[in-house]
Structure 1
Amino acid sequence: MRDSLVILGEIVKAHGLRGEVKVRSEICDPENFRLPGIRLRAPDGTFESVTVLSYRVQKGAYILRLADFSTIDQVLPRVGWEIVCYGSQLPALPADEYYHFQLIGLPVFNRIGEQLGFLTEIMGNTLQEIYVIRSNPEAKSGSELLLPVVAAYILEIDLEAGRIVVDPDGNGAKMAATDGGADIRE
């Protein structure tokens, strides 16, 4: 999983006339845009190497200045392209912290071992992130469980075993060895 491609953001439009791009991204650390080996992925699956010279935040999005792009005409054809890197290029996180790509798709079990579904999405809100667990991740139908990412609900994340253990009733804080739960990053 660590060597899979990770989407850092998507170019949503050109910004200004000097070749900057506006990027929608959910990443926690914008410095990830400056990692070596960052590439643009076109909708047809082809890649183009790129270097991010600078970035800034503007109205909830990132404005990136890319090397070798100095006009709006150079960046307009790349609207809709994704900015990607390999998971192995991302900085290592402290223990009990995870990137979203490491968690999405993992099976989710309750504390007695029954599989509840798969983690399909991680939503943000003002207090904490929310895990979206679906019994059938391929279809819009089926049951859906929303759990806040706090110790009372998220009991264990085991990347080696490839599983997440939760307590849907929120009684896990009484059983958890630590408080505060895991710190999740994108």
Structure 2
Amino acid sequence: MEWYNVGKIVNTHGIRGEVRVMATTDFPDERFSIGSKLAIFMPKSKTPIYVTVASHRKHKNFNLLTFEGYPNINDVEKLRDGIIKVSEKELTELDEHEYYYHEIIGCRVLTETGEEIGTVSEIMETGANDVWTVTPAEGKPHYIPYIEDVVKEIDIEEKVITIELMDGLLS
């Protein structure tokens, strides 16, 4: 079964079993909704801890969650640094021209003339649009905005993205 990251537990919050989560999903309200089934993968462990979300609220830049059966800080302290994942069956169908991060990361980026720029290694949210970190085989990474003027074609099956190389984009 494939697992996909949706967040990381970075700390506890208060004494009533809340954990502070840094989300790595575009859909935190959906992923962390009450009743959602999640798997927490701890460092150095291959076996996930399965939990069900009991509550979810936003606080500053974090999502605060509680889990059924984990009523206080002592229960959740051991979950710190855990990576929260969902199984492939939890993924929902996206609209046309929408992609999951795991579909984009790892794609080769080519110019319209076929020149290879590098591979998408990270996606950053900026508010206006996502920015893809494209790492070449050698040299410094490039930052490509995910906008129509730049990204011309995405082929998820072939793991290839075609961009229009605008002036100053790779400097």
State the TM-score, normalized to the length of structure 1. 0.82
User: Counterparts of 2:96 and 2:89 in 1: how far apart (Å)?
Assistant: 16
Q: Deviations over 1:75-121 (max 9, x none)?
A: 11110011111234211101110011111011111112222110111
CA contact under 8 A between 2:107 and 2:160: conserved in structure 1?
yes
Q: Which residue of 2 aligns with 1:177?
A: none
- Map 1:1-186 onto structure 2 (within 5 A): 4-30=2-28, 31-34=30-33, 36-45=36-45, 46-136=47-137, 142-169=139-166
Return the letter of the residue paired with 1:23.
V
User: Counterparts of 2:108 and 2:4 in 1: how far apart (Å)?
Assistant: 20
Q: Deviations over 1:94-150 (max 9, x none)?
A: 1110011111011111112222110111112232111111113xxxx6232211111
CA contact under 8 A between 2:119 and 2:135: conserved in structure 1?
yes
User: Counterparts of 1:88 and 1:156 in 2: how far apart (Å)?
Assistant: 27
* Shift, 1:65, TM fit: 1.2
- Percent of aligned pairs with the same residue? 28
- Structure 1 unaligned blocks of 5 or more: 171-186
* Shift, 1:36, TM fit: 5.0
State the TM-score, normalized to the length of structure 2. 0.88
CA contact under 8 A between 1:32 and 1:90: conserved in structure 2?
no
Return the letter of the residue paired with 1:15.
H
Q: Which residue of 2 aligns with 1:175?
A: none
CA contact under 8 A between 2:106 and 2:159: conserved in structure 1?
no
34-43 or 50-59, larger mean C-alpha shift: 34-43
User: Counterparts of 1:148 and 1:91 in 2: how far apart (Å)?
Assistant: 25
- Structure 2 unaligned blocks of 5 or more: none
Give the secondary structure class of the aligned counterpart of 1:28.
Answer: coil
User: Counterparts of 1:144 and 1:125 in 2: how far apart (Å)?
Assistant: 17
CA contact under 8 A between 1:123 and 1:130: conserved in structure 2?
yes
CA contact under 8 A between 2:37 and 2:53: conserved in structure 1?
no
